[in-house]
Amino acid sequence: MLQENKLNGPLSEVQQNVGVLSQLSQNLINLMDKQVKAIIADDDKEIVKNAERYANLKGTFKEKELEFVKGIKGLLDETEYDEIRLESLKKVFPDSAEIIDNWKAELEEQFSQLKINHQRLNTLLDFALNRNVQIFQSIYGLSNQKNIHYGSGGNKEDVSSGLAINKKA
C-alpha cells in the first residue's frame, strides 16, 4: 500500500493523487471481481448495476488521472522533458527518489492487476457470447429439421433461421 510518509511542499499533491489513483484502481479491481461473479451467476440485475458503477468509477478514474498528470507537469520544466513521467520527478527532487520509486511500483502493480482483471472479464464475456450464439444456432437447427424448403429446381435446401415453408406433417 501507499507509503504513509506525509510530504510537505510540491510533492504532497502528487502523493495525494497517487493515493487516490491507487484507491480508485483497487475499487475498479473489486468491482470487476463482482462483475465476474454476477456473470457466472447469470444475475442480470447485478450485471447491470455493476456495469453502471464501473462506468461511473472509470470516469472518476480518468479525471483523477488527468489531475495526476497535470500535477506532475506543473512540477517539471516543460522544455526539458518530452514525456510526463514519475521518473522525471526524481531528477527534480533527488532526495525523494525512493518515495517516487515506491509510488511508481505501487501504481504499476495496481494497473497490472487492472489489466489482468480486464482481460479475464473480456474473456468471460467472449465465452458467454459464443455460448449464446451456439445455443441459438442449435435451437434454430432443431427447429429447421422440421421444415423443408424446396428450391426452384425441386431440390431440398436449407431453411433460413426462423423461416418455415412447406412444413413436414
pLDDT tens per residue across span 86-138: 888 888 888 888 999 999 999 999 999 999 999 998 998 888 888 877 887 77
Residue 166 falls inside a structural domain: no
Query: Higher pLDDT residue, 150 or 68?
Result: 68
Residue 54 cell numbers, joined: 464501473
pLDDT at 2: 45
Residue 38 falls inside a structural domain: yes
For residues 53-71, average pLDDT: 93
Residue 132 falls inside a structural domain: no
Strand partners, 147: 167
* C-alpha separations of 77 from 14, 32, 89, 134 in Å: 16, 38, 10, 57
Residue 74 falls inside a structural domain: yes
Residue 32 falls inside a structural domain: yes
* Number of domains observed in the structure of the chain: 1
Residue 68 falls inside a structural domain: yes
Please tell me the least confidently modeled range out of 15-29, 74-88, 104-118: 74-88
Strand partners, 167: 147
Residue 49 falls inside a structural domain: yes
Residue 110 falls inside a structural domain: yes
For residues 37-65, average pLDDT: 93
Domain that holds residue 63: 11-120
Q: Residue 3 above 50 pLDDT? A: no
pTM score:
0.71
